[in-house]
Amino acid sequence: MNHCIIFAHPKTDSFNGAILDTYREALKGQGHSVEVRDLYRLGFNPVLSWEEYRKQFQGDYADDVKAEHAYIQWADAITLVYPVWWAGLPALGKGYLDRVITFGFAYELEGEKPIPLLNGKKAATIFTSGTPENIYRGTGMANSLKQTIEEGLFDFCGMETVDHLYFGNAVLAEGTERKRMFAEVRELAERF
């Protein structure tokens, strides 16, 4: 299976970086092909201009967007690995989705009815935050982010969600707690 991991964290030696490494190695260990799109190291431009927005409706995409389309088209599975900042994706990650998950590539419209174009692909998320998990889940924020990504992105474009992992207290977690998180990441990889 071909996996495209979209990673948006400014530090590769962060906890998110360790999650990425664990997930990538678990997938490769099962014989999967893995491509990581490390948005910070790519220097991906997250700004969707009005001109670019209009052009996508004619199938006219910027070269960097076409390159990302090729990775997503190649992939059987797509996983987002991001920290949660201010109850959402980092701006770079959100901008990537704005520019790459485009009309004519990921969906079309029949009148007002969306027609998904990424059918058959599997999708997952691995999100972290510094907020303790019980607080984020208790307030409903974890579910809101899950719903936004799963229904608003994956379902809308025809992808099947395999799982949504959320790890709170990522900054202060130690030892046993981090081992549990890494074990969950490996278990997710095994489900593909």
| % pLDDT > 70, the chain | 100
Confidence label for 99 from pLDDT (cuts 50, 70 and 90): very high
Poorest-pLDDT segment among 74-78, 104-108, 144-148, 180-184: 144-148
Residue 68 has pLDDT above 90, yes or no: yes
Do the beta carbons of residue 98 and residue 46 sit within 8 Å? yes
**Given a cut of 80, is residue 179 above it in pLDDT?**
yes
How confident is the prediction for the chain on average, in pLDDT?
94
**pLDDT bucket at 62, cuts 50 / 70 / 90:** very high
Is the separation of the CB atoms in 157 and 101 below 8 Å? yes
Contact call for residues 5 and 24 (beta carbons, < 8 A):
yes
